[in-house]
């Protein structure tokens, strides 16, 4: 029983964090695989989305905050693409990489300015913060939900890429950028 009491929570927590890293890695892989661009700001966009969620759940209900933050993150992505990457489409690759590093620094410093350099914790979210028992070990519901959500999102992405016109266009660009 020692394993279940002491080590299982760490195992579940590691799988949960691994799911988050997997989603970030899928994003990096898609950007590099399609555009051949190392997007240094990718992790920073993830950070900004987290900070937006911290602030959004303080003034709106969770069921409204989640789609709001998703939409705002997509808008942020479009703004970054239009301002930092699109003007450099015909420029040398190094220019685009420097722009990506600049966007990364900008997002980091904006977050530093907004937070004052202090840690921000998520407010308690009703059912996701609840403690559950798994084989006698206690863990939070979010630890169990994250890997499941990761799998669902990856399966949806695979279906999107393999069975839609958008996915076919993405595969075409990845295969031959100039022709597509």
- For 82-91, what is the mean pLDDT? 88
Of residues 79, 99, 106, 105, the one with CA closest to residue 38: 99
In a domain, 9, yes or no: yes
In a domain, 52, yes or no: yes
Rg (CA), the chain: 19
Query: Are residues 26 and 155 in contact, defined by beta-carbon separation less than 8 angstroms?
Result: no
In a domain, 144, yes or no: yes
pLDDT tens track for 91-103? 888 898 899 999 9
| Residue-level pLDDT at 1 | 56
Band of residue 133 on the pLDDT scale cut at 50, 70, 90: confident
| Residue-level pLDDT at 156 | 95
In a domain, 180, yes or no: no
| Residue-level pLDDT at 58 | 86
Band of residue 3 on the pLDDT scale cut at 50, 70, 90: low
Percent of residues, the chain, with pLDDT higher than 70 = 98
Query: Are residues 56 and 65 in contact, defined by beta-carbon separation less than 8 angstroms?
Result: yes
In a domain, 163, yes or no: yes
In a domain, 38, yes or no: yes
Q: How many domains does the chain have?
A: 1
Residue 118 confidence (pLDDT) above 70? yes
* 124 vs 147, higher pLDDT: 147
SS3 at position 100:
helix
Residue 56 confidence (pLDDT) above 60? yes
- pTM here is 0.78
Domain extent, residue 69, equals: 2-175
Residue 175 confidence (pLDDT) above 90? no
Question: HEC states along 127-144?
Answer: CCCCEEEECCEEEEHHHH
In a domain, 156, yes or no: yes
pLDDT tens track for 6-40? 788 888 899 999 999 999 999 888 888 777 778 88
- For 62-89, what is the mean pLDDT? 92
* Average pLDDT for the chain: 88
Local structure of residue 61 (DSSP, 8 states): -
| Residue-level pLDDT at 128 | 77
- For 127-143, what is the mean pLDDT? 83
């Amino acid at each position: 029983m020692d394993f279940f009491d002491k080590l299982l929570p760490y195992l579940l927590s590691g799988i949960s964090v691994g799911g988050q890293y997997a989603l970030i890695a899928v994003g990096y892989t898609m950007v590099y695989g399609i555009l051949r661009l190392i997007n240094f700001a990718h992790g920073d966009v993830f950070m900004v989305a987290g900070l937006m969620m911290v602030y959004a759940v303080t003034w709106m209900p969770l069921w409204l905050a989640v789609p709001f933050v998703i939409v705002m993150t997509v808008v942020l992505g479009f703004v970054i693409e239009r301002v930092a990457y699109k003007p450099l489409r015909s420029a040398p690759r190094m220019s685009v990489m420097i722009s990506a590093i600049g966007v990364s620094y900008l997002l980091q410093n904006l977050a530093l300015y907004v937070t004052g350099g202090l840690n921000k914790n998520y407010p308690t979210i009703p059912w996701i913060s609840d403690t559950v028992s798994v084989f006698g070990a206690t863990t939070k519901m979010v630890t169990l939900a994250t890997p499941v959500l990761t799998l669902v999102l990856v399966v949806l992405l695979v279906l999107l890429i393999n069975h839609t016109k958008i996915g076919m266009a993405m595969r075409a660009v990845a295969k031959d950028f100039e022709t597509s």
